[in-house]
Every structure is written in C-alpha cells, then in structure tokens.
C-alpha cells in the first residue's frame, strides 16, 4: 500500500476535512462527469461558494484596509473575486488534479479552462463551509486570496474593463452599455459570445468560457476601439 496520498486525499487534508467527505467529492465533480455517471455535479455548491467567497473577501477588505471607502472596497473586491483570480487560486491549490470531468471535456483540455477551475474553487469553498462552518471557509478564502487583495488595495482606483467602458460612455453622453450574451455548444462545453451596444449602436463583441468573461472581452474591445482614443 502506497504511503502517498491521492490528490483528493491531499486536498482534504489541506482543508482539514475527512478523506471520506462526500461533499468534497461532489465539489470536484464537473457537470460533464455527472452526466456520464448519473451523479451530482458541483453546480449547486458553486452557487453557494460564490456567496461565501464574496463575503470572506469583503470581510478581509473591511478589517484589514479601513482606509478604503465603500466604492474603493467594491473595486478591490471586483478585481479579486473574478474568474481569472479564482482560477489562479485553484491552480495554486493544484485543484485540476482532483477534478472529475467527462470524456469530451478531458479531450478538449477542459482542465485548462479558467471558468472550470474558478467554479471548482467556489464549490470547494462551499464544501468547506458546509462541513466546517463559516470561520474555516473564511480563513481558507482569505489565505488563498490575501495577496491579490493586498495588490489591488495598493491601486484601488484602477477599474475593471466593464466599469471603465461604462464611465467613459456616460461621461461622453453616448449612453449606458447594454450587453447581450448568447451561449453556443453543448452544456458541458459552452462558449459564450457577448455583444456590447450603446444608444442602439453595436460597439464590439467578445467571447469567453463564461458570461462574465465574454462581457469583459467585449468591453475591452469596445474600449480599444473608441473613437477618441
């Protein structure tokens, strides 16, 4: 018998959970695997984990950075609680080695997708929350994202592409950006295409593995293509 822990056992140990944790198994189960094996996916846990991550990061910002007001704090949180940041946290956790994914997703290198990794990170947070309570989940989230929060807090005035585009459109009197997102492909391998318009005029399009990332790509493209650049 090998003395080496399996990736899932190592993850459970790192989280302080029992190796037999059924919730952790669900947390690492992608919908593509669940569809093939008739078991529960991590989608419901992801929904809960999203809220726990938001709260834990807001808690950290409030207690560790009292100089930030509500607006600046919200900007810092938006730069940390996003697909890219959470996917990086999942990579540091070596979460990909634990994930159960379907054959099609595996064939298309799905474990490299930021959206899949970010969703799994949130699901793991939810499993920890349900098994060990909020304080344990908060400590884990804050330790995972503290560096990103600290970096964002140094430059709280920097805004994300969607906010930057909206501020520019409103300042120039063009109007408010409107996003329309259309999914393409099977449920386990969806690509989202987003368009952003203002005052009835199409500004740009973008694609991503999640609605949010597609909208961000569209906003970035619209910003780069603005007429006063």
Average pLDDT value for residue range 81-87: 88
pLDDT digits (tens, 9 = 90+) for 104-124: 888 887 788 888 999 999 999
* Structure tokens belonging to residue 104: 């099609």
- List the chain domain ranges: 7-154, 161-224
pLDDT digits (tens, 9 = 90+) for 9-48: 999 999 999 999 999 999 999 999 999 999 999 999 999 9
Fold classification of 7-154 is: Ribonuclease iii, N-terminal Endonuclease Domain; Chain A (1.10.1520)
pLDDT tier, 2 (very low <50, low <70, confident <90, very high otherwise): very low
Catalytic sites, residue numbers: 50, 122
pLDDT digits (tens, 9 = 90+) for 162-182: 888 888 888 888 889 999 999
Average pLDDT value for residue range 78-92: 89
- Give domain 161-224's CATH number out of 1.10.3720.10, 3.30.160.20, 3.30.70.3270, 3.40.47.10: 3.30.160.20
* Closest to 212 in 3D by CA, of 91, 120, 81, 121: 81
């Amino acid at each position: 018998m090998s003395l080496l822990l399996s990736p899932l056992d190592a993850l459970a140990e790192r989280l302080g959970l029992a190796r037999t944790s059924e919730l952790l198994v669900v947390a690492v189960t992608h919908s593509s695997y669940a569809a093939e094996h008739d078991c529960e996916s991590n989608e419901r846990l992801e929904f809960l984990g999203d809220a726990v991550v938001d709260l834990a990061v807001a808690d950290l910002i409030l207690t560790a950075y009292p100089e930030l007001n509500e607006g600046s704090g919200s900007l810092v949180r938006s730069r940390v609680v996003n697909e890219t940041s959470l996917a990086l946290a999942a990579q540091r956790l070596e979460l990909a080695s634990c994930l159960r994914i379907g054959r099609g997703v595996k064939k298309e290198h799905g474990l490299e997708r930021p959206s899949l990794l970010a969703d799994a990170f949130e699901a793991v947070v939810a499993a920890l929350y349900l098994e060990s309570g909020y304080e344990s989940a908060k400590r884990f989230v804050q330790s995972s994202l503290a560096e990103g929060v600290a970096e964002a807090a140094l430059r709280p005035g920097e805004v994300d592409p969607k906010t930057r585009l909206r501020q520019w459109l409103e300042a120039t009197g063009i109007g408010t950006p409107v996003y329309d997102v259309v999914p393409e492909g099977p449920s386990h391998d969806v690509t989202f295409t987003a368009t952003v318009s203002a005052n009835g005029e199409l500004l740009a399009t973008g694609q991503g593995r999640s609605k949010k990332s597609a909208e961000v790509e569209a906003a970035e493209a619209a910003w780069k293509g603005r007429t006063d650049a």
